[in-house]
Structure 1
Amino acid sequence: MSKASDLKRITELRRELKRHDELYYRDAQPEIEDREYDRLKAELAELEAVHPELSLIDSPTVRVGDDRVEGFASYQHHLPMQSLDNTYSQDEFFAFVARVEKGLEVDGARFTVEPKIDGVAVSLTYENGAFVRAVTRGNGIEGDDVTENARLIKAIPKRLKGDSIPEIIEIRGEIYMRNEEFERVNALRSEAGLELFKNPRNLAAGTIKMLDRVEVGKRQLDIVLYGLGYCQPSVVSSQSEYHRRLGDWGLPVVEAFWEATGPEEAWQAIEKLDTLRNGFEYPTDGAVIKLDSFDQQDVLGATSKAPRWAIAFKFAAEQAETKLNAITIQVGRTGVLTPVAELEPVQLAGTTVSRATLHNREEMARKDVRAGDFVVIEKAGEIIPAVVRVLTEKRPADSEAFVFPETCPSCGTEVTQLEGEVAVRCVNIECPDQVRGRLEHFASRQCMDIEGLGVAVVEQLVSRGSVSNISDIYRLDYEQVVSLDKFAEKSARNLLAAIEASKRVELWRLLHGLGIPQVGAAAAKDLAKAFGGVRELGEASLEKLVELDGIGEKTASGIVAYFQDERNRAIIDALFEAGMNPKAPERPKEGEAVLAGKTFVITGTLPTMKRDEAKALIESKGGKVSGSVSKKTDFLVAGEAAGSKLTKAESLGVKVIDEATLLEMSQ
């Protein structure tokens, strides 16, 4: 491949990985499996290795994800919370062990093996035995302070018991939700006509980040602890000793734990865990293997992304064979037609599966999937299952290839395929399926957060003709709502109150909810800060949009096209006529915007300021804070242990300043 094509692919991969990071860590709505995500990361790493000069151009800002959301204060970890590298085969695992033993110059290194819990990573801080703080992983350096919500988790003791308790210790673990609690919450939501959560991890992530503690208290969260962060003074010398000490202190620990010497013993423990994990009370998708000795861990150290002394072995995705009875076409909120396999129900990963995604027309054609085929479906964790291959040897003799529709199955409009896209689309903005999708997106927790306006309610409103676009939500009256199935006076008034309250959400939520192409939550926040209003954004030129850090030409073109559409402008006008009054980000007062037009990146540990304090200072003075260094960065604010961002800034000629210089510039 040419350098130009490699650069194009690198750009595509970085954009795609960034989107998946946001979906997983911030929205708790992942679209792909870990293995596919790791494959994309590996492809990017290979291309960047071939073209190291390109690795400095718009490199991804997040490698371990960032789960921070609006509404929570950030708190810096005493020691970073890194992610683990993943491995998927015995050969890859043995290669990891070989690297460890080579680095230590030993044979038969000692390891621990424990379950990999599919939950929300968290760090608990105890001072003199008293629980004082709970912080999510965040970006690895700092996370969201969720202490008040964590205090509602019964398994977290207020004080550690026993002896040998450090003055201060960070205890890492995973917040999760048991399957039966997940099913209980979803049953209640189903009765109320609300959108259901996809899996226990998503529900746990959403619950611990709720701002309403009363609602958090209505759900039963659990926690399991296994990792050590900062500890002063040191009281243990190994992971196995630490595991036993956690139990002595009265903390909840993993149900299974092995000590092993060398690769063979460790592999036997991994296989044993695989046979036991379905009986655990928490979702487990792999094994975590750690070098036991803390001294040896220190010898090996870590990369910027992950420790060299630990790895996660991901269990193979569960598969099942079944018959594909029919192929149906779903139309999403953006008009994309997605083929879906209607299956003979089959048990997979503990649930009954009757549907699986076929992704798109090109993927269907590549696999030659047909109605009547016997297929193998795969489901790792709780993500929507997919057809991975067709058992052509079992195909009926009279089988016919599937013909992808040329018209929308929802509204009959002729479909189109844009150049450079694999997606086939319906361009009719009034298409009923698109209307339903847009309304569900608009009302979702990630956008306007209208409690009570879930999938079932939207379906009724659209089928009855009560709403045809998002502005119609604000014209609903009591009689229309109370007449809906499963609604009574109280639930009707609650929904109308939630709709009324949504008129005063933050501006970025409205921008995200509008469904502007390529504009997710992160881009919406950038646009809200840059323009301060919907109409101001609508008047922005392509050139002005492209100047913004994080807004590429494709996104900018989509924004311009969106606001040029008369139908979209009419809907926006109707929203404001109905009383929509979103809260714009606070802007610095006149004469205080001394950093206006400047983009900063903060890295390392500053002498007196926490990172969120430095960020708040810069934004209060009109500046912008980005998470990655690029050619558009004006200043890198570097503290102790600045790391790779400092190296990149120096290579790009970005000016590097310290905290004192930042404070002086802000005067």
Structure 2
Amino acid sequence: MSAAETAAERIAQLRSEIDAHNYRYYVLDEPSVPDAEYDRLFQELQALETDFPQLVTPESPTQRVGGQALAAFGQVRHELPMLSLGNAFEEQDLLDFDRRVREGLDLPPGDLFAAVQYSCEPKLDGLAVSLLYENGQLVRGATRGDGSTGEDITANVRTVRNIPLRLQGEGWPAVLEVRGEIYMPKAGFEALNIRQLEQGGKPFANPRNAAAGSLRQLDPKITAARPLELCAYGVGRCDGVLSDTHVGTLQALRGWGLPISRELQLADGVEACRAYYEDIGTRRQSLPYEIDGVVFKVNSTAHQRELGFRAREPRWAIAHKFPASEEITRLLGVEFQVGRTGAITPVARLEPVQVAGVTVANATLHNMDEVARLGVMIGDTVIVRRAGDVIPQVLGVVIERRPADATAVEVPQSCPVCGSAVERTQLIKRGKGRETISQGSIYRCVGRLACQAQLKQAIIHFVSRRAMDIDGLGDKIVEQLVDRGLVKSPADLYTLTFDDVFALEGFAEVSTRNLLAAIDASREPSLARFVFALGIPDVGEETAKLLARALGSLERIAAALPEVLTWLPDVGQEVAHEIYSFFNDAHNRTVIVQLRERGVKVQEEGELSPEYAASTRLAELLDKLNIPYVAATGARNLAERFGSLEAIIAADWLELSTMKGLNERARQSVRQFFSNPASAERARALEAQLRAFGMHWESERRTATGAPLAGQTWVLTGTLETMSRDAAKERLEALGAKVSGSVSAKTHCVVAGPGAGSKLAKANDLGLAVLDEEAFLARLGELEG
């Protein structure tokens, strides 16, 4: 067979495969391979057609863009084709692009004074759309489709909140076609998937699929409920005169009410483009939306016209893609790791593959429910994703590549570390007078601290920076201490001797004394740090801070009944029961006693927070008892009629029967509930604890003092030069402020250091107070002085 015949066969195969991927990606919104795999196939086809130009046909994927319009929507013929962009995968690709631009404009090579000016924008990962405005009114919305013909999605784009239905200002052309990307922000995507799972639906694989699927709903009400946004990036048809630069055109669009990228910048020459690419790459994970690269465009529209187009892309623009964050590889096996709380987590062992510039051989499968949802089997070809520092995860399975000998993933019956039994967790939903038990998604080893894996993870958490902050006690050292039997609980850390540490691998006299000094320095933690360090399931750093601030002492936290804990904000029933169960465990109580006996003295303990003094009501107590058929309104009526818990407990049939606001079934339920001695004693215990804590409605009210920023929300952004962000957060929280990670209209103040980006821009847009580091330090000095 000749070289041309071999090439013809491969070209036919590639075209068929690419067409299939295009259909799944653009029409069905169900891509079966990651972008990197698609790009490789496309590049191979391009190379073959370059070598054998006689084999190029009009039907080749290289001669058109994307897929076909869905038949369910009307079709829209684009007057000016919506072309895709050429891609730069390596730095040299970008340099070659600049060289071609300079050659096309007849600019002398190496002349710094003749550098081409480029616009720079992040490449959003969404769905390209065309918006047609006539006399300022939005009259049509369409998808890109195959570049020539798209889908009419007018009814759906009208529901996207940041798309103006009528242009603002003046001076816009009589006919203006705006082109842009409709995407779904990360926060909205996460919230949507939570709703999907709650409603028994299938979660979306990524924000791009979610955006595309949302815009292709035949019912616009569904689209309206999705958190979609538009970012305009250019124009198509225009019956009028616009700016002579690309950036000027975008600024005009912004003036007419169309959103453009906040990251839009101008770059003089290719070196400035490289700097922009590197900068936004480092900030990629902190952006509120997904991007997969940067788009560079020649800024001068006259130069754009001079450079013109190739078959499927403009010569004046390029997309510099980030290293692929998704790849395909083979699942070789599944191992099970044991976490701090005993959770058994499946971990995929993969055929090593390069993802985003890093070799990935392991990826998380989260839990067995996720394994079932993915339908993954050992031997499968899987899609793996890595984003920034996030642990790689398996996103899906390429079913058509499943081998005949693929085997199912099964949970071990015994712990792979200690051999203890493995049990599936149960979810307990507590309602009015009953509990509903269902199977949880987590399997746990029941060995607790007798299991070395759990013990090691518990110690690692206990000594971590946000917990007891024992500097120098890293994971490897903890493993040695546990393996040698020197540490069997967190309390044993405070009994370590010089000889114990000196005998460890890698320790000399100085390092031994330094570690012992660090352990000794940790003996006076704040209450919040200590509670967090204990490793209570589902109690993170913020919940630990809330418990410490609200209840004020370890004694109250340890004694708190679940119902009392649920009076605190953001503490639900399940978390409350985890806290209660933790402190009622004999082993945990012993460890806390040992910690105190060995010199750990918790600081910042005191009284109940004033905001919770006398904060409860009798009606609320009755409601928390979950008396069958007695809702919140009935509880209020009972409280108003009888005035005290004891009076309600003692109420007879006659007293209840004459009560208004409570039906017969609810009255019978109240009497039956309190005639049970256990229920009555539980209610009395709850009221007694409210009195003891000072939360009872008859307790003394107190006014908060010494918290000048109480009730205020602050945001830290950028880099602080005189202190760490954690230190700044602690100082603000000590003054009563809540420190949030996002800016909203409720934000009181934003502290912006060098490198502040989108949060600062949003603060300025909302007209919020913004302090630089110097002003922030001065403000802290005033408040703390």
Task: Please give the TM-score of this superposition, normalised by the length of structure 2.
Answer: 0.43
1:134-213 matches, cutoff 5 A: 134-213=141-220
Closer, same or farther in 2 for the Cα pair 1:70/1:295, shift >3 Å? same
Task: State the distance in 2 between where 1:300 and 1:175 align.
Answer: 28
What's 1:82 paired with? 83
What's 1:526 paired with? none
Letter in 1 for 2:263: A
CA deviation map 1:218-267 (0-9, x unaligned): 22211111111111112211111112112211111112011111111121
Indicate whether 1:354 and 2:364 are aligned: yes
Task: State the distance in 1 between where 2:24 and 2:389 align.
Answer: 15
1:209-224 matches, cutoff 5 A: 209-224=216-231
Task: State the distance in 2 between where 1:316 and 1:177 align.
Answer: 22
Contact kept? 2:380, 2:406, Cα under 8 Å: no
Closer, same or farther in 2 for the Cα pair 1:89/1:308, shift >3 Å? same
What's 1:312 paired with? 319
Letter in 2 for 1:266: C
Task: State the distance in 2 between where 1:189 and 1:422 align.
Answer: 28
Aligned residue for 1:35, secondary structure, equals helix
How far did residue 93 of structure 1 move?
A: 0.2
Identity, in percent, stands at: 38
Contact kept? 1:155, 1:222, Cα under 8 Å: yes
Indicate whether 1:37 and 2:34 are aligned: no
Indicate whether 1:259 and 2:259 are aligned: no
What's 1:54 paired with? 55
Aligned residue for 2:22, secondary structure, equals helix
Task: State the distance in 1 between where 2:176 and 2:21 align.
Answer: 32
Letter in 2 for 1:289: F
Task: State the distance in 2 between where 1:135 and 1:382 align.
Answer: 37
Task: State the distance in 2 between where 1:62 and 1:359 align.
Answer: 38
Letter in 2 for 1:25: Y
Letter in 2 for 1:315: F
Letter in 1 for 2:88: T
Closer, same or farther in 2 for the Cα pair 1:362/1:208, shift >3 Å? closer
Task: State the distance in 1 between where 2:390 and 2:9 align.
Answer: 29
Closer, same or farther in 2 for the Cα pair 1:147/1:56, shift >3 Å? closer
Task: State the distance in 2 between where 1:36 and 1:29 align.
Answer: 15
Aligned residue for 1:197, secondary structure, equals coil
What's 2:6 paired with? 5
Task: State the distance in 2 between where 1:149 and 1:86 align.
Answer: 30
Closer, same or farther in 2 for the Cα pair 1:208/1:99, shift >3 Å? same
CA deviation map 1:560-606 (0-9, x unaligned): xxxxxxxxxxxxxxxxxxxxxxxxxxxxxxxxxxxxxxxxxxxxxxx
Equivalent in 403, 426, 430 of residue 424 of structure 1? 403
Equivalent in 289, 294, 298 of residue 296 of structure 2? 289
Task: State the distance in 1 between where 2:205 and 2:380 align.
Answer: 27
Letter in 1 for 2:364: S
What's 1:103 paired with? 104
Unaligned residue ranges in structure 1 (runs of 5+): 329-338, 365-375, 388-420, 434-458, 460-667
Closer, same or farther in 2 for the Cα pair 1:229/1:270, shift >3 Å? same
Closer, same or farther in 2 for the Cα pair 1:386/1:87, shift >3 Å? farther
1:461-500 matches, cutoff 5 A: none
Aligned residue for 2:167, secondary structure, equals coil
How far did residue 11 of structure 1 move?
A: 1.7
Aligned residue for 2:282, secondary structure, equals helix
How far did residue 341 of structure 1 move?
A: 2.5
Q: Which has the larger radius of gyration?
A: 2
Letter in 2 for 1:116: K
Contact kept? 2:35, 2:324, Cα under 8 Å: no
How far did residue 340 of structure 1 move?
A: 9.1
Closer, same or farther in 2 for the Cα pair 1:55/1:180, shift >3 Å? same
Letter in 1 for 2:404: R
Task: Please give the TM-score of this superposition, normalised by the length of structure 1.
Answer: 0.50
Closer, same or farther in 2 for the Cα pair 1:126/1:253, shift >3 Å? same
Contact kept? 2:176, 2:239, Cα under 8 Å: yes
What's 1:21 paired with? 22
CA deviation map 1:371-419 (0-9, x unaligned): xxxxx975369999689xxxxxxxxxxxxxxxxxxxxxxxxxxxxxxxx
Task: State the distance in 2 between where 1:131 and 1:63 align.
Answer: 28
1:224-373 matches, cutoff 5 A: 224-318=231-325, 326-327=333-334, 341-342=348-349, 354-355=364-365
Unaligned residue ranges in structure 2 (runs of 5+): 108-113, 336-345, 357-361, 367-373, 395-399, 411-440, 442-785
CA deviation map 1:122-173 (0-9, x unaligned): 0111112111111110111121111111111111112111222111111111
How far did residue 359 of structure 1 move?
A: 11
Closer, same or farther in 2 for the Cα pair 1:363/1:167, shift >3 Å? closer
Closer, same or farther in 2 for the Cα pair 1:302/1:151, shift >3 Å? same
How far did residue 178 of structure 1 move?
A: 1.6
Letter in 2 for 1:317: A
Closer, same or farther in 2 for the Cα pair 1:88/1:124, shift >3 Å? same
Task: State the distance in 2 between where 1:192 and 1:386 align.
Answer: 24
Letter in 2 for 1:274: G
Indicate whether 1:127 and 2:134 are aligned: yes
CA deviation map 1:473-503 (0-9, x unaligned): xxxxxxxxxxxxxxxxxxxxxxxxxxxxxxx
Closer, same or farther in 2 for the Cα pair 1:383/1:211, shift >3 Å? farther
Letter in 2 for 1:41: F
Letter in 2 for 1:80: P
Aligned residue for 1:425, secondary structure, equals coil
Contact kept? 2:82, 2:148, Cα under 8 Å: yes
What's 1:610 paired with? none
How far did residue 316 of structure 1 move?
A: 1.7
Task: State the distance in 1 between where 2:269 and 2:319 align.
Answer: 16
Aligned residue for 1:190, secondary structure, equals helix
Aligned residue for 2:56, secondary structure, equals helix
CA deviation map 1:421-466 (0-9, x unaligned): 97523799xx999xxxxxxxxxxxxxxxxxxxxxxxxx9xxxxxxx
Task: State the distance in 2 between where 1:206 and 1:195 align.
Answer: 12
Task: State the distance in 1 between where 2:59 and 2:134 align.
Answer: 41
Letter in 1 for 2:244: S
Task: State the distance in 1 between where 2:226 and 2:125 align.
Answer: 18
Closer, same or farther in 2 for the Cα pair 1:386/1:354, shift >3 Å? closer
Contact kept? 1:285, 1:381, Cα under 8 Å: no
Contact kept? 2:332, 2:379, Cα under 8 Å: no
Task: State the distance in 1 between where 2:182 and 2:222 align.
Answer: 17
CA deviation map 1:280-325 (0-9, x unaligned): 22211110000001111011111120000000001123599xxx99
User: How many aligned positions are there?
Assistant: 372
CA RMSD of aligned residues (A): 4.0
Contact kept? 1:355, 1:385, Cα under 8 Å: no
Contact kept? 2:285, 2:388, Cα under 8 Å: no
How far did residue 361 of structure 1 move?
A: 6.1
Contact kept? 2:115, 2:268, Cα under 8 Å: yes
Contact kept? 1:109, 1:291, Cα under 8 Å: yes
What's 2:517 paired with? none
1:522-561 matches, cutoff 5 A: none
How far did residue 5 of structure 1 move?
A: 3.0
Task: State the distance in 2 between where 1:261 and 1:327 align.
Answer: 51
Aligned residue for 1:174, secondary structure, equals strand
Structure number with greater CO (CA < 8 Å, separation at least 6) is 1
